[in-house]
Amino acid sequence: MQQIKTSFDFEKPIADLVQQIEKVKQVAEKTKVDMSATLDELDGKLDETTNNLYKNLTGWNKVQMSRHPDRPQTLDYINMICDDFIEMHGDRTVKDDKAIIGGFASINGQTVMVIGHQKGKNTKERQYRNFGMANPEGYRKALRLMRLAEKFNKPVITFIDTMGAYPGLEAEERGQGEAIARNLLEMSVLRVPIICIVVGEGASGGALGIGIGDKVYMLEHTWYSVISPESCSSILWRSWDFKEKAAECLKLTSDDMFSNKLIDGIIPEPLGGAHQDPELMGRTLKEYIVKDLAALGKLKTDKMIEQRIEKFCEMGVVNE
């Protein structure tokens, strides 16, 4: 079994067992005593504990997993999945928003438009990327690239990973709400296939702004909701102390979203999360994307748009 790198408090049982195994190995090496039976027993217990733990994560646990600093981000997936990538910049109105990246790429020889949030890996890069929180120009850049893909009849793939659209005053002054709403409208009738994948955090309109697609997936340990657990807790209980309770109430996990028919599927992650084996995660994502591109490519454009609109219109129930 692959060694699990632990980072969170809920992973402590795994860390404790790994520590026990290391101590037994050290004793065996020093005393030259055969400890294989003990090691086998501990290894079996470690496998069982690890599998049970990651199969029974709470909503807050999954929020933590989605924020792991080593978790692959959009540029990582582009490098793993695509044969090449030409990044394109600017919304042709204000500036180039570094929180959203996009450009033409090729996957197995097929040209696609890839767009996604990029948070950054260290403090300097996170500041440069504004922590993945896009301004209106970011969503307008994304829309410009989607229209370009439509012009050349190329599919669109989006990777969603954001704490939300940037809530600053200047963003509101430049029309944050309008920019996101415009994307929802335009993506619903875009005449090329769209595949959307939540690869980390999927918060509020910031995620939905590039989240309307023919296929919408979530990775296993991600979340997708109208609000973050911390913000929900601060509104309802005037404190962040209830974020765990808020996470459960919001029903934001991939299992919750799939059971409520708000997404089309859940993409499994390597044991312990995508950060444990990024290359495996990349290969899995590529398999899903290639399969869906082939299936969507067989649909007539008008039928594809009709199905896309119907899917989102069927979400939720209104009683009058």
The model's pLDDT over 167-195, given as tens digits with 9 standing for 90+, comes to 999 999 999 999 999 999 999 999 999 99
The model's pLDDT over 210-222, given as tens digits with 9 standing for 90+, comes to 999 999 999 999 9
User: Are 149 and 188 a contacting pair, CB within 8 Å?
Assistant: no
Average pLDDT of the segment spanning 238-249:
93
- The pLDDT score that the predictor gives to residue 247 is 94
- The pLDDT score that the predictor gives to residue 40 is 86
pLDDT band at 145 (very low <50, low <70, confident <90, very high): very high
Going by C-alpha positions, the residue among 300, 112, 273 that lies closest to residue 200 is 273
| CA separation for the pair 113, 107 (Å, rounded) | 10
Residue 1 has pLDDT above 60, yes or no: no
| CA separation for the pair 68, 7 (Å, rounded) | 8
- The pLDDT score that the predictor gives to residue 82 is 95
Of 31 and 307, the one with more pLDDT:
307
Q: Which two tokens stand for residue 312?
A: 């989102």
Residues sharing a CB contact under 8 Å with residue 13, sequence separation 6 or more, in sequence order: 49, 53
The model's pLDDT over 85-130, given as tens digits with 9 standing for 90+, comes to 999 999 999 999 999 999 999 999 999 999 999 999 999 999 999 9
Of 80 and 1, the one with more pLDDT:
80
Q: Kindly report which listed range (31-35, 163-167, 253-257, 295-299) carries the lowest average pLDDT score.
A: 31-35
Residue 25 has pLDDT above 90, yes or no: no
Going by C-alpha positions, the residue among 24, 2, 4, 1 that lies closest to residue 12 is 4
In 3-state terms, the chain is what percent helix, strand and coil (to 5)?
50, 15, 30
The domain defined by 63-314 folds into 2-enoyl-CoA Hydratase; Chain A, domain 1 (3.90.226)
| CA separation for the pair 80, 77 (Å, rounded) | 5
CA angle 21-24-30, nearest 5°? 140
Residues sharing a CB contact under 8 Å with residue 161, sequence separation 6 or more, in sequence order: 73, 74, 116, 117, 118, 119, 132, 198, 199, 200, 201, 202
Average pLDDT of the segment spanning 278-282:
96
| CA separation for the pair 139, 21 (Å, rounded) | 50
Average pLDDT of the segment spanning 17-27:
88
pLDDT band at 3 (very low <50, low <70, confident <90, very high): low
- The pLDDT score that the predictor gives to residue 43 is 87
Using the CB atoms, write b or e for 225-263: b if 16+ within 10 Å.
bebbbbbbbbeeeeeeebbebbbeebbbbbebbeeeebb
